[in-house]
Structure 1
């Protein structure tokens, strides 16, 4: 089974911190050319400065990942830098509390725009480019791979984050739908749903409430919080030829937490 992604070109959104950063770094270390994309320009510049000596492999793009113009500019910048795009990882997430008894439409629409429509629209743009650049290649070749990152909030609703839970569930269904639509073009679309992983949001939550760490560990059958690097390894598998017959799947990386009984526990 080949896990090589050497020479592949990738876009990773949400790449300035947390899970997105871990994925972008992992793909870079495995030989891919990676465009680190995020809305936080200062944080993005800080992390990409580590790769200043090798701009042939790493570039950065700062922009609002929920705006169509920014998406188009991101794709254009990637093609200018690497000539093609083989991999897209939608790791950008927008997490915000919402009142389950009064989820106003503005909040819900923002959750859907940031967490569903952003990844869906960028996937559509990138898929069109993948199809175009694959013209003339053999029918057995892989055109491209797309991975969407979500959390267990999609299946284990969090009452205090109802809008985010709805958006995550919608994104996972979009993953399945795109997988079917793009399969004839040899583009694979999968998702990774996580919990008990040290995301940026979880880091912030633990700073505010250190006792939450013990609660999460107690609710995780494997008894620990995983570093984001372990989630990145799953993404690596999904975008490699090792997963060339895998599409439309939502892989769960949570140490068994989704098997536990607690429904209302915070899942980040």
Structure 2
């Protein structure tokens, strides 16, 4: 089966920076028609403005995707620009460290709103659009679309200070699996990519505050390095392409082996 996504219309959220930016650029380079969405309009324009002009392969959409109207307008941008939507990549992420002993913290609700609910609602709306497209065109066979959620190994690795982020990631992974089952009958695949030891925007910010963490991360990663965002994008393309036509409900880990290590360096009895 082919990895080709040429001519497919993809929506990529969080496209103005970090992982979302790398994914959007990669999809464009591979011939996809891409709607780049982010809350940061200025940076979207700086990264993709030239490609978005003169009926190019890119459309830009700047808004807060926690708002239902914004999601509907994002889908309209894809349909108005390219006629349909084939792929959705939920790459928009928010990271807020929190105190696990602070019951007054609203970090969990913030993480659930941004990292779970926004992507889930957008996935549901996009899936309905994919189904409507197929009904209108009389397509009774073949795949209708693919959805890929960007997650983190924090969903299954507990660490101090990221309680809310870990819970939100775990909820997102379960939403991926549940939605995959619900949409299988409609010929729409849903998968996730869980990353770690990848230079995300949140990791960049953390290393600016404590450069010593870099050595700890490298030491805890069997492949011995922190990967650039570009090393995540091939996996996202695979899950979006015909090559993954029989893959759904899976969370593929891209972390250099970090999730395999026991942080306690003594024999387990």
1:90 CA displacement: 0.3
Higher alpha-carbon deviation: 219-228 or 254-263: 254-263
SS in 2 for 1:185: coil
Look up the match of 1:134: 134
State how far apart, in whole Å, the 2-side matches of 1:57 and 1:103 are: 47
1:63-104 Cα offsets, whole Å, 9 max, x none, are 001111111111111111011000000001111011111143
- Which structure 1 segments of 5+ residues have no match? 264-268
Distance 2:250 2:157 in 1: 18
Question: Which residue in the other structure is 1:56 paired with?
Answer: 56
1:1-268 to 2 correspondences below 5 Å: 1-52=1-52, 55-104=55-104, 106-135=106-135, 136-139=138-141, 141-262=142-263
Identify if the C-alpha distance between structure 1 residues 50 and 222 changes in structure 2 by more than 3 Å, giving closer, same or farther.
farther
> 2:105 and 2:223 mapped to 1: Cα distance?
38
Contact 2:35 2:58 in 1 (8 A): yes
* Number of equivalent positions: 262
CA contact (8 A) 2:52 2:60 kept: no
Shift of residue 56, structure 1, vs aligned partner: 2.8
Moved more, 106-115 or 26-35: 106-115
Q: Are the structure 2 counterparts of residues 221 and 103 from structure 1 closer, same or farther at C-alpha, using a change threshold of 3 Å?
A: farther
Q: CA deviation at 1:36?
A: 0.5
Q: CA separation in 2, counterparts of 1:23 and 1:54?
A: 22
Which shifted more, 47-56 or 60-69? 47-56
Query: How much has 1:53 moved relative to structure 2?
Result: 5.6
Partner SS state of residue 227, structure 1: coil
CA 1:55–1:208 in structure 2 vs 1: closer, same or farther (change >3 Å)? farther
TM-score (norm: length of structure 2): 0.94
Instruction: Write the distance in 1 (CA, Å) between the matches of 2:56 and 2:184.
Output: 31
Q: Tell me if the contact between 2:99 and 2:105 (Cα under 8 Å) persists in the aligned partners.
A: no
Q: RMSD between aligned alpha carbons?
A: 1.3
Is the 1:103–1:163 contact (alpha carbons within 8 Å) kept by the matching residues of 2? no
CA contact (8 A) 1:16 1:43 kept: yes
Structure 2 vs 1, CA of residues 50 and 212 (structure 1 numbering), >3 Å: closer, same or farther?
farther
1:257 to 1:103, Cα distance in 2 relative to 1, 3 A: farther
TM-score normalised by length of structure 1? 0.94
Closer, same or farther: CA 81–169 of 1 in aligned 2, 3 Å: same
Q: Which runs of 5+ in 2 are unaligned?
A: 265-269
**Of 202-211 and 73-82, the range deviating more from structure 2:** 202-211
Query: Residues 76, 53 of structure 1: CA spacing in aligned structure 2 closer, same or farther, 3 A cutoff?
Result: closer
